[in-house]
Structure 1
Amino acid sequence: MKSVLQAKRNGLLLLVILLLLIAPMTLLVNHIELLSPESDFEGATFTILTNSAGSGGFLVTLAVLAIATLTLKMTPKQQLSKVIQLGVILLIGFTAKTGLKHLTESPRPYTEVLSHQLLVPNPAHFYQLSAVQQESVINKVSENVSHWRTQHWMGETDYSFPSGHTIFAAICVAFFGGLFLDHKRYALAATLMVWAIGVAYSRLWLGMHRPIDLIGSVLFVALVYALLPSMDGLSGKIGHVLNLNKRCFY
């Protein structure tokens, strides 16, 4: 176990730094007014950031990061091991996110705005409405809320804790960021960290999450990443099978 943690020390270090950078957002969130008008530049920037870690763009982000890793010196066995490890942690992250949301049933921050505008009796009531009713309620508040925010409210009417976007960003920081540090690609690691912070803040700005959602997501990823096996043994077996098949083919 000690050797496994030692191999992941850079990824875990980056997650600690990510936590330390997210913590001050607890103070910044008080200055975010969801009912205030916003510029198109600001709205577009946070939308691009949040989409890069969401269902519409996470594959593009993964592709870009995967291409960046091609510049790193790794053997085919190491590459296969990392691919398996990434696939497992992504599967765990996305599956657990869905389960935790249903377990905690924490209303999203924007439902508090709906409640303050007297469109629902309380935030929890929003989740008792049908999809059509939820859309209708959000449409009514759109007269007072920027479309940059309400378009995301329309698309994500599930619960708040944890933040799936932040889970994905934290996985990228731990996995790819750790690799970049291992190979002394400090600029790539720093760029990745700035992106992850941007994604996390975009979730607050849009009214989709609270700071505790972000912090809990990073802590969850840190735990899973720390406990995840290296996958070297499995990659060796798969590589051996592939080599046997290759020989049989020829």
Structure 2
Amino acid sequence: MRAIAGRTTLAAAILLLMPFAVWLTGWQWLPAPSGWGLHTLYAITETVTQPWGIITHLVLCAVVLWRLKPNIRGTVILITILSATVLLGQGAKSLVKERVQEPRPFVLWLEKTQQIPVAQFYTLKRKERSALVKEQLAQQNEIPGFLRHHWQKETGYAFPSGHTMFAATWALLLVGLLWSRRHALGLALAMAWAIGVMASRLLLGMHWPLDLMVATVMSWLLATLACWLAQRFAGLPEKETYN
């Protein structure tokens, strides 16, 4: 357990560096002009947005099975643990969102530019919020269509970030389960993907830095426990001996 915790703690600290640095600078989000950078960020965030997030989850499960090669019993247990960890994280995120009820950055921007009171916005049902965002942004040509569409779908609360929880949980699971010099490149790519998802949530106007940091800490707790359970019950070796 100590070795697993050490791996996931180091990886979580790396994930926290970016949002912590942004938080220290006092950076405030404003809409950016459309370009390849914004398109790239949107593509990265879509790897977690449903239904693409399900595909991402299945692909990453397949990667873990391919690298660890557990027996049939271990495969069933491992997939159950991985899926339950992701689902538990999303459930915990939803519960916290409903209690904290923090507005998203783009919603506060709409309040300033379109005179949509935040308190009134969140009293509406989700379909009504979506319709209101669509109506108010119909003439906003500086906001690209793909971003307007994303805002229409994501009208919930901000704290904590569900996209970050998904990406960070998976990055930490991979680090905890596949830590080895032979897997260094793959783990580096997984960490870079998670950081990319986190950055996209900031720059698309969906979250504040603290949303990302708290989501990462929650992911660390879940992933560390999940990796220990996988090692304990899925028949995985304690030392890295995989081919």
The TM-score with structure 2 as length reference comes to 0.83
Correspondence for 1:101: 97
Query: Residues 146 and 18 from structure 1, CA distance in 2 versus in 1: closer, same or farther, beyond 3 angstroms?
Result: same
Amino acid at match of 1:95: G
What is the number of residues matched between the two proteins? 230
Instruction: Confirm or deny: 8 A CA contact 2:20 2:213 kept in the other structure.
Output: yes
Query: Residues 233 and 216 from structure 1, CA distance in 2 versus in 1: closer, same or farther, beyond 3 angstroms?
Result: closer
Please state if 1:148 is matched with 2:146. Answer: yes
Correspondence for 1:49: 44
Where in structure 1 are there 5+ consecutive unaligned residues? 237-250
Instruction: Confirm or deny: 8 A CA contact 2:161 2:215 kept in the other structure.
Output: yes
1:164-223 Cα offsets, whole Å, 9 max, x none, are: 100000111111233332463100001111111111111111111111100010011112
Query: Residues 234 and 102 from structure 1, CA distance in 2 versus in 1: closer, same or farther, beyond 3 angstroms?
Result: same
Where in structure 2 are there 5+ consecutive unaligned residues? 236-243
Correspondence for 2:238: none
- Two-structure CA RMSD over aligned residues (Å): 2.5
Identity %: 28
Correspondence for 1:17: 14
Instruction: Confirm or deny: 8 A CA contact 1:105 1:160 kept in the other structure.
Output: yes
Correspondence for 1:189: 187
Correspondence for 1:214: 212
Distance 1:64 1:28 in 2: 36
1:103-137 Cα offsets, whole Å, 9 max, x none, are: 1111111111111014313x232111243355234
Between Structure 1 and Structure 2, whose CA radius of gyration is higher? 1
Instruction: Confirm or deny: 8 A CA contact 1:23 1:211 kept in the other structure.
Output: yes
- Return 81-90 or 23-32, whichever deviates more: 23-32
Correspondence for 2:168 among 157, 160, 170: 170
Instruction: Confirm or deny: 8 A CA contact 2:129 2:152 kept in the other structure.
Output: no
Query: Residues 137 and 91 from structure 1, CA distance in 2 versus in 1: closer, same or farther, beyond 3 angstroms?
Result: closer
Give, in angstroms, the shift of residue 89 of structure 1: 1.0
Instruction: Confirm or deny: 8 A CA contact 1:84 1:231 kept in the other structure.
Output: no
Give, in angstroms, the shift of residue 142 of structure 1: 4.3
SS at 2:9's partner residue?
helix
Query: Residues 30 and 90 from structure 1, CA distance in 2 versus in 1: closer, same or farther, beyond 3 angstroms?
Result: same
Distance 2:52 2:204 in 1: 17
Correspondence for 1:161: 159
